[in-house]
Structure 1
Amino acid sequence: MIRLDVTPESAKWGYSGLRVVELAVGESYATSTGDDEVIVVPLSGAVTVTADGQEIELQGRASVFDGPTDVAYIPIKADLSLTSHRGGRFALATARATKRHSVKHVTVDQVRVELRGAGNCSRQVNNFGTPDVLDADRIIACEVLTPGGNWSSYPPHKHDDAGPHESELEEIYYYEGGPGYQRVYGTEDRPVDVLEEVRTGDVVLIPHGWHGPSMAAPGFDLYYLNVMAGPGERLWLIQDDPEYAWIRDTWADQEIDPRLPYRKEAR
């Protein structure tokens, strides 16, 4: 069953997309990637991924809060099928692409786990689809986990080099856990600031411009999957809002939240 389907067409932009598929025990799902490259991300459960005559067994995890997962990269113009013998929920992060890369299995030990910030700005980033980990055409993807009461996606930032729009990344936030809150700044073409409550299954679309923070309500951990793509070079450019950039300096004498990292053994 398709639980969520964001395409470039439905988002009214050009590149980023996300589909969340829920499979019952023994159920399968089949599709063609067409003009999209895809990263299959287990949110819960394990899955067998078949594409281009290759079969990849993704070990997955019980939930997004049980540590990082292995993922599968599938290129454009491929027949793709997912089969889950125990059932589960799986994200298909997509980007409209032109170059055809090979199928890849990014194993758990290849995922770069990063602890960012300090104090109540501590969060964990699992980098499985970033340019330093995965060779792809356009897609950039990672997941961020924020302990209850903490702020992430902070200082507020944007993903461009202050140049023309072709340098900017279209970004999808997909959430699990919560409740939490997400802020997105207004822009010339969307002049109203947005502050939305988010829970499991919600998405926030950010076509360009400043955004953040993501705030996890005390007592409720927050997860989000980031999917980004754009027309320019595949670079994960992060530019802090100058009004808030000084906040990074305050982390120097603070400890990282001891609840991090999230891993199966800790739960």
Structure 2
Amino acid sequence: MAPLWVLKLVFSTVKINTGKTEGRYAVVLPWNQDLTSKLTLIVFDQALRQVEVLKYAFTEATRQMVQNEKNYLERLQDDAESKIIVPEVKNWIENDAYCCLVQDFYFGSYVENLTSNLYTFFDKLNTSDIRCLNEHPYILNKMPVIAQRLKDFECTQLLDEISKLFEQYKRTRFQVATMHSDFSTTNTVHTSDDKFVIIDWEDAEDEGINIDIPFFKFRRQLYEKGWWEIRNAEGFLVVFHYIWFMVNKGNREMLQKFRIDRGVFSS
């Protein structure tokens, strides 16, 4: 992640001088949030002795997301053998106006390339339950919602192509897995002591599918090249999941840009 002095130059910085927070500062992170519904702060003192991430949520939908992350952070364990860290819940505040999740901030760099220990960590989240896609809870929970929302957003070409690909791969079997659901370069921090911190568990789910690692590769290629060739069921699933991600966020503008043409997805 960027050094804090860079964040202070780029983003709004607020000095806090109330009660126990005397002499502390807060950097407001603006991406992927509406400040009236969700707000993420990095709070620190001048000497950077104590640096924390605070996630505030104000609406029912965003409160559910932050509560979901809290639940997974409390349940999942660090994996010392593979040097994987899951952030600890430092504090949890909940009242009628908002909820707030407090975690440590981790200094390090974003992970550009997958390492074997990341594969090992996600393999351990798989269950022994293996099902065809047309019987898989991940698909059954999401397909009706995607179909309806794509109709509402007039994304008929995208819906037609997704339906055809599902028919092609519906007999392929995948494990049911605990899923991070937004595993990407910016959600993985490599620390100076060679550990890997997996952050942002807001979209995690138990009845997921074991595609976190392929989804990481998909996101990186899509960012670098703008397209993804669907060669197999796994390649279809990462596209399906990205569409679900945008549907779940209500991102009509992005969904209307998506195309699948001759097995190639583009955005």
Normalised TM-score (structure 2) = 0.28
Query: Could you say which structure has the higher strand fraction?
Result: 1
Normalised TM-score (structure 1) = 0.28
**Higher RCO (CA < 8 A, seq sep 6+):** 1
Query: Could you say which structure has the higher helix fraction?
Result: 2
Higher radius of gyration, 1 or 2:
2
